[in-house]
Amino acid sequence: MEHQFNAFIDDVRTTHGANLVSIILYGSAAAGDFIPTHSDYNILIALNKITPDDLRNAHACVREWHRMGHPLPVYFTVSELQDSADVFPIEFNQMSKARKVLYGTDVLAGLNISVEFLRHQVEYELRSKLILLRRHYIPASTTEDGLKTLMAESLASFSALFGAVLLLHAIEPPVIKREITAMTVERLRLDGAVFERIFNIRQDNYVGKTDLVSLNRLFGEYMEQIEKVIDAVDAISRS
């Protein structure tokens, strides 16, 4: 990846010139739990100002980056990063915990991330992802590979939200997804074996039964644990 990163950084610097402030890698690749078959290289690009011309000029370098299978970068102005930290507390907390500056200034350092709206956003995101999980289960339920992929990929999203659940309980979360999930299991008294089995599937070292019946049973147990997390977050609003 070093060659790809260097080429991408050069292209972005050429495109934005003096307007470019920072290029930051965040997420799994920066945290240390990157899995090539499931994880992404997430990039944040910070500019002093963003106009349609800036975004249009970025088409060539972003298109090449995306063509190699990476997600499109997220663009922010430096002022927007500070102003948006209280609106997107989950996302910015994740970025600030697991990041690596590839170029320029560490614009995520010292962000004032408010937790005032954290509970509402956590519950919204959890419920939205549960609805999406149910929808995707319908076509995935008929094949072993479909079920394994659905559980492995969705757990990465849920475990990231579990970090915010820990923050709601005044617990500083770790940065590794498996560790975040284990701590959430302990705090909420969940069935950790369910998540462990899915993490093993995600890391291609699962030794349990992988027939369709067994995987569908695992999915049912998985969905039940997610519902318990949502119930725990909802209970906070009533306390």
| Residue 104: DSSP 8-state | E
pTM of the model: 0.69
Beta bridge partners of 74: 44
The pLDDT score that the predictor gives to residue 68 is 86
The pLDDT score that the predictor gives to residue 160 is 87
The single residue listed with the structure tokens 């999980």 is: 133
DSSP assignments along 48-69, one per residue: S---HHHHHHTHHHHHHHHHTT
The CATH number of domain 118-238, selected from 1.20.1630, 3.30.1360, 2.40.50, 1.20.120: 1.20.120
Rounded CA gap, 6 and 22, in Å?
Answer: 14
SS3 76: strand
The pLDDT score that the predictor gives to residue 81 is 87
pLDDT digits (tens, 9 = 90+) for 78-96: 998 888 777 777 778 778 8
SS3 43: strand
The pLDDT score that the predictor gives to residue 139 is 95
Rounded CA gap, 72 and 74, in Å?
Answer: 7
The pLDDT score that the predictor gives to residue 36 is 65
Third-level CATH fold of 2-104: Beta Polymerase; domain 2 (3.30.460)
Does an H or E element contain 12, and which?
helix 2-16
Phi, psi of 102, rounded to the nearest 5 degrees: -90, -30
Amino acid identity of residue 63, one-letter, is R
Structure tokens at 212: 């369709």
Does an H or E element contain 23, and which?
strand 20-26
Rounded CA gap, 121 and 69, in Å?
Answer: 29
Mean pLDDT of each 10-residue bin along the chain, 239 residues long = 85 96 88 68 94 93 89 92 78 82 91 75 94 96 95 93 92 90 97 96 83 95 97 82
The pLDDT score that the predictor gives to residue 38 is 61
The answer to whether 223 touches 179, Cβ cutoff 8 Å, is: no
The pLDDT score that the predictor gives to residue 90 is 78
Q: Where are the domains of the chain?
A: 2-104, 118-238
State the average pLDDT for the chain: 89
SS3 207: coil
Does an H or E element contain 192, and which?
helix 192-202
Q: What angle do CA 34, 9, 159 make, to 5 degrees?
A: 25
The pLDDT score that the predictor gives to residue 238 is 63
Rounded CA gap, 198 and 205, in Å?
Answer: 10
